[in-house]
Structure 1
């Protein structure tokens, strides 16, 4: 059983003993710590906090505890019910709330859940704020409201439509061209909130669709991380023909992967690349992705005379860098598209609408669009951590291995990334799982995987 406390939020498996898992006592503690932080931040103006959740089996239980705790802290709660992560982010600003809590463990399996914490801009807490929440929780420095100051509770189910309306209003979403294209798509919504909101979006765009795993019951039909090895069902359906595009989202709909008309993966790394190419062709400017993302975004950005920048892994790190360099598009290679004209958060609805706009305007097949981009392959491996694993020592060892290599450029702002002229490898401890992620990229999958395995062996030798 696992409980992970980080600036990214509180994430863990359901059930078990307090302090070891995401259980009712720990949910109360960290929700209280978050509310205490918001109160002390000086930015509490509306006394209102938004709560939304994905369709996980444990979601209703966690939501009841979160809402009750916030009420006990004297906050008014706006419960928007089953909602995507980007919907909840937008709801914070649409409500003028002081913050928000998203109840979702994103791509983690069904036994996991998490509290993702938002500020009054509907954006994830930064490092300092996240650390302050953890400090308050550790000290249990709490003060609950008296009976005359308990918060008020309301439910509001209008935000799916408001989210969709905001997407359709984006300048680069070409609804007319999409409707004329007559697209037929198949969607794997992995038994969560994508099965609720994506049909509504596609109806508005005039796109014919079939939904796989559409019942939002949280009993995921397969591993919910949208990687090729988990998507054989929709890929097999695509290979039978009759569809222009396959669309895959994760349980909270902030990650997005596409499948070509022939049943082959478009590549989750190329979700952002393709959307960025479309945006940059209409809005020249800069781009940002994290250190673990493909070089193809850099290549596309430079083709459009922009400047590419890399950030540490984590959505808040990407958005901070985007604001710093004035990026017009950014995101993460895991299929996360961040489009500031909408909001500073990964949003699969925005990604779908922009991708379909690009495809409709170009009048080509999805596989033909993919062939227009630089072709790289990323191997995504992982190492499960043991209690005795010294991650810092491992990273020092890796840096030492390449310190004298004149062809290697070492970046240690987030784990260790070694850039070579024709490839790179990145090792970092995950913020969301007890693992070390080992990502590597080259011009073939064989080369990328071999580079990653070389670094993985270093880790194994030290455990």
Structure 2
């Protein structure tokens, strides 16, 4: 069936994602769980998808804690707060408004791992469902968890009085909890696109540099100290320094990781992370641990002893001592605290940036092609320089390249980075040659 990606079930409403599917997932999840937390982002389709999901859970005898419209990290945290067995966010995160999805959470705050996702898929395949007796159906309780999340965020910055002027671009999503939290610790907050609206009329949901031009302009031309941007469900957070510079994901990752980790500790990052992050952290005797791309994999690694932080350049940030759910509002409060201690622009200037090259090549059978790429790479390069966690990454000391099959398209994506531009071009050429030979 293969419904789940690393970010749960996600796709066009009425095609991949339907009320029938949500009902079935509720039934499958309710087979052996007594209490489940449910919340959704502001997409209009989320209303009937949530209703179907809740119906399936209650029909199975499972009690539901319904948060209504809530940020995904609020849902992820609430599983533990309410001693629940699982959580479900009805969201397509940063995808366009015609999409929706279901992302499932464990009590630790970590997304369902591969084994847990496979268990649900197997129940969907076999129709495994055990309806409760007429008098044993589950209850539904509505609960607004926003204040609880704000209190947790305030605690995360030790209740510090952060005299910062912050512009928050909520992106018409569910991240209003960030505004409340920043105000509660003394920030003066101005908002953009603060009205929840699942059509995302203010800007597209994903907070890319192109989509956040209004935010960067406002920060640059005002007396704001920094800017914050979220996606539709606020699991992602991107930042703008006080001079109006939109910080790249790798730079922000390096800043967060350096602040979170002490000498001898590690941080978890995906295989497509810039070499600059490892170089910057090495200055503080902090190592990187590479994972497949996807916050669930970063969270798994971040839960290991000695790992102080996990992050993805796409904007998912995980502090394992707080939660294993990517928490955009927590990242927003943390970046405000860091800026109060030392301006973001100064921190960013200390992080090196290297030339990076990217390309995508259409292939007919990406699985078979990548098998041949792996075989060629393992034959040509020392085993210690090759990682096959997610695609094939080859570390060359002063450079690296990655060939990775797209999860959604018939493409192989190529990435190459080096400390010098000519070297990056040469390494990308090497990667192209390997792919050409494997096609």
**Shared topology, TM-score over 0.5?**
yes
Give the corresponding residue for 1:22.
Answer: 17
User: Could you give the per-residue CA deviations for residues 204-236 of structure 1, whole angstroms, max 9, x where no partner exists?
Assistant: 121122211111011113332222232222223
Structure 1 pair 132–415 and aligned structure 2 pair: CA distance change class (3 A): same
2:228 is equivalent to residue 247 of structure 1: yes
SS at match of 1:135: helix
1:229 to 180, 196, 210: 210
Q: What's the secondary structure of 1:324's corresponding residue?
A: coil
Contact 2:108 2:323 in 1 (8 A): no
Residue 293 of structure 2 corresponds to residue 313 of structure 1: yes
8 A contact 1:241–1:262 mirrored in 2: no
1:326 maps to what in 2?
306
Task: Choose which of 350, 365, 382 in structure 2 pairs with 1:372.
Answer: 350
Residue equivalent to 2:162: 178
Deviations 1:133-183 (A, max 9, x none): 1111111122222211111111001x111112112112xx2543523xxx2
1: CA distance between counterparts of 2:429 and 2:151? 46
Q: Give me the whole-angstrom Cα distance separating, in 2, the residues matched to 1:239 and 1:288.
A: 32
Q: Structure 1 pair 451/217, CA: closer, same or farther in 2 (3 Å)?
A: farther
After TM superposition, the score normalised by the length of structure 1 is: 0.85
Q: 2:417 aligned to 441, 446, 456, which one? A: 441
Per the TM alignment, residue 302 of structure 1 is displaced from its structure 2 partner at its CA by 2.6
Distance in 2 (alpha carbons) for counterparts of 1:129 and 1:419: 32
* Residue in structure 2 matched with residue 145 of structure 1 by the alignment: 132
1:419–1:250 CA distance, 2 compared to 1 (3 A):
same
Cα 1:191–1:78 shift into 2, 3 Å:
same
SS in 2 for 1:5: coil
User: What is residue 335 of structure 1 aligned with on the other side?
Assistant: 315
1:379–1:262 Cα change, 3 Å: farther
The answer on 1:53 being equivalent to 2:40 is: yes
Q: CA–CA distance in 2 between the matches of 1:242 and 1:86? A: 30
User: 1:246 Cα deviation (Å)?
Assistant: 1.6
Q: Is the Cα contact below 8 Å between 2:76 and 2:105 reproduced in 1? A: yes
Work out the CA distance in 1 between the residues paired with 2:278 and 2:320: 19
Q: Are 2:14 and 1:34 aligned?
A: no
Unaligned runs of 5+ in 1: none
Helix, strand or coil at the partner of 1:305: coil
Check whether the contact 1:8–1:125 (CA below 8 A) recurs between aligned residues: no
When the two structures are superposed, what TM-score results if normalisation uses the length of structure 2? Answer: 0.89
Aligned residues: 436
